[in-house]
C-alpha cells in the first residue's frame, strides 16, 4: 500500500465482491486495534458489529454491486477489545486487473443517532415485510387448498357425469353407447395385436309375456338380476352392457370362439337354473368372432344372426355365426 494511503487521516480498506479484506491502512488498524496479519484475507464481518453485519448484507453489498458506489453509510465497527466505533462509510467499486474491488473510506464519528434510527427503521420495516409475507403465504396456501378441493370436486362431478352417460340406470351395466365405443376400440386393438375377439348377444326369451303376466316391476327386477348374473359370470377383462330392452351384450377380448361358446353356455345354464320366483326364465345367445375386415356393424350383425338362429330353433340355446 502507498505510504500516503497507509497514513491517511481516515481509515481505508479494499474488499473483494465477497467481502474479503485485501488491503487495510494503518490508520484503520490503529483505530480498531488489530494488526495487518490478523485481518488480511478475513471477511469484513470480523470488524463489524452484528447489526452492521446485517446492514452490510441487506444494503451495502447489493448497492455497491448495483450502483458501484455507496455514500454516507452509517455503520459501527467493532474493535479488537469489543468496543463499538461509529463510522461514516464511503465506498466505490472498480474493475482492476480483471476483478472488481471495492475501496472503502471510514471516517470516525461521534454522532450516530441518525444511523441508529435508520437501522431501527430498517429492522421494523423488515419485520413488517416478513409479517406481511407470512400472511400472504398463509393466504396463498389457503387458496391452494381451496383450489385443490374444487379440482377434486370437479373430477368427482365429471366422473359421475361420465358414469351417467355410459351406465344403464336399471342394471348398472354399461349402456349401448359405451358398448359401441368399446367395441370399436376392441376391434382396433385386437387387429393391431393379432388377437382373437369374440362377441355375444343375449336376449331373454318371451320377456313381453313376463311383463304382461307379472307386470313391468317384476320385469325390471328380472333385468336387474340378469345384470348381477353377468357381472358374476364374466371375467375381469370382459365388458358387459345392456344392449337395449331385454337384450344384453358381452365383449370378450383375446378369446377364441370355442371359449366364448363355453362362457355363453355357462351363462345360459345359470339363468335357466336360477330361482326367479316366477315361471322359468331362459335366454337365447348368439356368438361370433372377429374376422379380417370386420367393423362394429358387421360383427354385431353376425352375432344378431346367430341370436335369431337360437330363437328360431326353440330358444334357450347358444348359436354361433362365424
Catalytic center residues = 246
> Is the CA virtual torsion 95, 101, 102, 104 positive or negative?
negative
**Helix (H/G/I), strand (E/B), else coil: 192:** helix
| Cell, residue 172 | 348398472
**Which among 248, 241, 254, 296 is positioned nearest to 271, based on CA atoms?**
248
Q: Residue 289 and residue 254: Cα distance in Å, rounded?
A: 10
End-to-end CA distance of the chain: 103
What is the distance between the alpha carbons of residues 242 and 177, in angstroms, rounded to a whole number? 10
Q: How many residues does the chain have?
A: 322
- 3-state secondary structure (DSSP) of residue 34: coil
Report CA-CA distances (Å) from 319 to 73, 195, 233, 268.
Answer: 99, 22, 19, 11
Given a contact cutoff of 8 angstroms between Cβ atoms, the answer to whether 40 and 24 are in contact is yes
Amino acid at each position: 500500500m502507498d505510504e500516503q494511503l497507509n497514513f491517511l487521516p481516515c481509515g481505508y480498506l479494499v474488499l473483494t465482491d465477497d467481502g474479503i479484506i485485501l488491503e487495510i491502512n494503518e490508520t484503520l488498524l490503529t483505530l480498531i486495534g488489530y494488526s495487518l496479519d490478523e485481518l488480511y484475507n478475513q471477511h469484513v464481518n470480523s470488524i463489524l458489529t452484528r447489526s452492521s453485519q446485517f446492514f452490510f448484507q441487506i444494503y451495502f453489498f447489493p448497492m455497491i454491486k448495483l450502483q458501484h458506489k455507496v455514500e454516507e453509510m452509517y455503520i459501527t465497527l467493532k474493535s479488537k477489545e469489543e468496543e463499538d466505533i461509529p463510522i461514516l462509510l464511503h465506498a466505490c467499486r472498480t474493475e482492476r486487473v480483471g476483478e472488481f474491488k471495492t475501496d472503502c473510506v471510514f471516517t470516525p464519528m461521534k454522532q450516530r443517532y441518525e444511523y441508529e434510527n435508520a437501522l431501527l427503521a430498517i429492522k421494523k420495516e423488515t419485520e413488517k415485510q416478513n409479517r406481511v409475507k407470512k400472511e400472504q403465504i398463509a393466504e396463498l396456501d389457503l387458496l391452494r387448498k381451496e383450489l385443490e378441493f374444487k379440482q377434486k370436486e370437479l373430477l368427482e362431478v365429471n366422473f359421475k357425469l361420465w358414469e351417467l352417460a355410459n351406465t344403464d340406470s336399471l342394471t348398472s351395466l354399461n349402456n349401448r353407447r359405451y358398448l359401441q365405443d368399446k367395441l370399436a376400440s376392441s376391434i382396433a386393438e385386437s387387429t393391431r395385436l393379432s388377437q382373437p375377439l369374440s362377441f355375444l348377444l343375449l336376449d331373454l326369451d318371451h320377456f313381453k309375456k313376463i311383463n304382461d303376466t307379472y307386470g313391468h316391476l317384476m320385469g325390471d327386477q328380472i333385468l336387474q338380476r340378469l345384470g348381477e348374473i353377468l357381472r358374476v359370470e364374466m371375467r375381469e377383462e370382459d365388458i358387459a352392457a345392456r344392449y337395449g330392452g331385454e337384450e344384453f351384450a358381452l365383449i370378450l377380448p383375446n378369446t377364441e370362439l370355442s371359449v366364448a361358446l363355453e362362457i355363453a353356455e355357462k351363462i345360459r345354464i345359470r339363468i335357466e337354473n336360477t330361482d326367479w320366483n316366477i315361471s322359468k326364465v331362459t335366454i337365447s345367445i348368439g356368438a361370433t368372432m372377429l374376422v379380417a375386415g370386420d367393423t362394429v356393424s358387421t360383427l354385431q350383425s353376425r352375432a344378431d344372426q346367430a341370436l335369431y338362429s337360437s330363437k328360431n330353433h326353440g330358444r334357450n340355446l347358444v348359436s354361433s355365426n362365424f
